[in-house]
Amino acid sequence: MADWSRTWTYLDGEWLEGNVPIIGPRTHGFWLGSSVFDGARAFEGVTPDLEKHCARLNASAKTMGLAPDVEVETMVGLVRDGLKKFPADAAIYIRPMYWPEQGGYLAIPAEPASTRFLLCMYETPMPPASGFSLGLSPYRRPTVETMPTDAKAGCLYPNNGRAITEARARGFDNALIRDMLGNVAETGTSNIFLVKDGVVMTPVANRSFLAGITRSRVIQLLREAGIDVLEAALTVDDFLDADEIFSTGNYSKVVPVNRFEDREMQPGPINMKARKLYWEWAHA
């Protein structure tokens, strides 16, 4: 049995403790992977961009053909209520979700009227600021024509999972994943940035990956601090030649890459500046 951390789930009007079983073998979200979710964070007493994460969940649900029926303000209120069940200094992952119970015609499309909602919150520590290593993945991100890449959909994550598994088998923490054209898209868990000659660059949002909320926030903060940030088509060679590499994402926020393939790297000044700016903004 898994050793689950402290977990509370809001479902059908009540809070339930633990990893609550909620679906059966005919549930559409289980056997056809039609769930959507979002992830926010509570740490050090703050919940940065919580409203944006809740709003993105509803947008993802609509992309998947579901019928989201929980207002952003309601979700935010449920999160505030749920946080009271944890220690004040706990680091919490906040995961609201929708999934359909039933399928429609031929059972393949989801039946929007069967859409259900839950909010799962659980303790998980913030990753250390020391960073992580990256290996180049042989796997690619799909295009929006082949998968719902403009939603935070559960069905997209097994592909990233196999990329991370392959990278870990070669001694890396995470995987750098390209799009179908061969340009760098993201890591297996986060958006990716490089720094070259004082200029920050990140893959242009081309709908092959989710351009994250933390990514957008960091771009804004760096530009306000007078640092040039460019969104562009970036190659693997661009990353091999970079002065710094760092990632952004809800789970870990802003962390450096300390090794890319066989190249050892150190956290650089712009990465540290981005992290400092984000922490200051989150606590402001």
Q: What is the CATH number of the domain that holds 88?
A: 3.30.470.10
What is the Cα–Cα distance from 99 to 240, expressed in whole angstroms?
Answer: 40
Choose the final residue of a domain: 71, 94, 123.
123
Q: What is the CATH number of the domain that holds 218?
A: 3.20.10.10
Both 232 and 200 in one domain: the answer is: yes
CB within 8 Å of 242: residues ≥ 6 apart: 194, 195, 196
User: What is the pLDDT, as a whole number, of residue 2?
Assistant: 66
**Would you say residue 1 lies in a domain?**
no
Q: Counting every residue, how long is the chain?
A: 284
Q: Which tokens sit at 69?
A: 């029926």
Give 124-135 pLDDT, tens digit per residue: 999 989 999 999
Give 149-165 pLDDT, tens digit per residue: 999 999 999 999 999 99
User: What is the pLDDT, as a whole number, of residue 4?
Assistant: 86
Q: How many domains does the chain have?
A: 2
Both 119 and 139 in one domain: the answer is: no
Choose the final residue of a domain: 105, 123, 141.
123
Both 169 and 202 in one domain: the answer is: yes
Mean pLDDT of the chain: 96
Q: Per-residue pLDDT for 1 more than 60?
A: no
Look up the domain containing 267 and give its range.
132-283
What is the Cα–Cα distance from 162 to 18, expressed in whole angstroms?
Answer: 27
**Would you say residue 2 lies in a domain?**
no
Both 268 and 140 in one domain: the answer is: yes
**Would you say residue 231 lies in a domain?**
yes
Both 136 and 276 in one domain: the answer is: yes
Both 16 and 64 in one domain: the answer is: yes
User: What is the pLDDT, as a whole number, of residue 106?
Assistant: 75
What is the Cα–Cα distance from 77 to 51, expressed in whole angstroms?
Answer: 10
Choose the final residue of a domain: 123, 140, 164.
123
Both 200 and 252 in one domain: the answer is: yes
Give 227-253 pLDDT, tens digit per residue: 999 999 999 999 999 999 999 999 999
**Would you say residue 61 lies in a domain?**
yes
**Would you say residue 210 lies in a domain?**
yes
**Would you say residue 200 lies in a domain?**
yes
Cα 248 to Cα 82, 193, 225, distances in angstroms: 26, 8, 17
**Would you say residue 23 lies in a domain?**
yes
Both 141 and 181 in one domain: the answer is: yes
Both 171 and 273 in one domain: the answer is: yes
Both 137 and 118 in one domain: the answer is: no
Both 118 and 148 in one domain: the answer is: no
Give 164-205 pLDDT, tens digit per residue: 999 999 999 999 999 999 999 999 999 999 999 999 999 999
CB within 8 Å of 280: residues ≥ 6 apart: none
What is the Cα–Cα distance from 66 to 61, expressed in whole angstroms?
Answer: 5
Give the burial class of 203: count Cβ atoms within 10 A of its Cβ; 0-12 exposed, 13-18 middle, 19 or more buried: buried
Give 4-60 pLDDT, tens digit per residue: 899 999 999 999 999 999 999 999 999 999 999 999 999 999 999 999 999 999 999
- Please report which confidence band the pLDDT of residue 3 belongs to, taking 50, 70 and 90 as the band edges: confident
Both 148 and 205 in one domain: the answer is: yes
* Average pLDDT of the segment spanning 52-71: 98
